Amino acid sequence: LRSLAIRAPLTGLYNRRFLEEELAQRLIHVRHEARPLAVAMLDLDHFRDYNERHGHRAGDLVLRSLAVLLQGFRQGSDVPCRYGGEEFVLIMPGATASEAAARLEPLRCRLAETGIHHEGRPRQPVTASIGVAEFPRDGVEAAPLLDSADRAMYRAKRGGRNRSCGAIASGE
């Protein structure tokens, strides 16, 4: 029952409820240890259009594929989560924002190169926009840190999509 309560059924990743609780706990630990922590928010580009063009089952395949990629790219105590819809978050304890962005660049490229096969036909690859924020620079509590990563992700979308952006420490 606990697993059902904290995991997103489609992807098997931790859900938003778990993310918020886990991030708050991780922030306590890194604050005490004076270590950085990065939060990356990933959003699939034009995903609504993808679902309309190829159908929701093809879209579900894309979501599961990204979940598998996130699991494969995580390191150490990283925590991949499904935030909601086509948004995902990766909590990266011990990583700075620049380290997190560098680690996620190969994932972003791999996703853009990965075609999905559905109903015996290849479907177009999808891309992701990524925003990265760092504790304590971009937020000292879970909600402001997630908000910073979210704003950075939207800057990546406005900048042309299929790219990463870091948070702007002084606000955006």
Residue 69, classed as helix, strand or coil, is helix
Alpha carbons within 13 angstroms on the beta-carbon side of residue 43 total 20
Do residues 13 and 88 touch, judged by C-beta distance below 8 A?
A: yes
CB atoms within 10 A of CB 10: 12
Do residues 18 and 27 touch, judged by C-beta distance below 8 A?
A: no
Task: Choose the catalytic residue: 52, 86, 134, 172.
Answer: 86
Catalytic residue check, 20: no
Angle between helices 142-158 and 16-33 (to 10 degrees): 110
List active site positions: 86
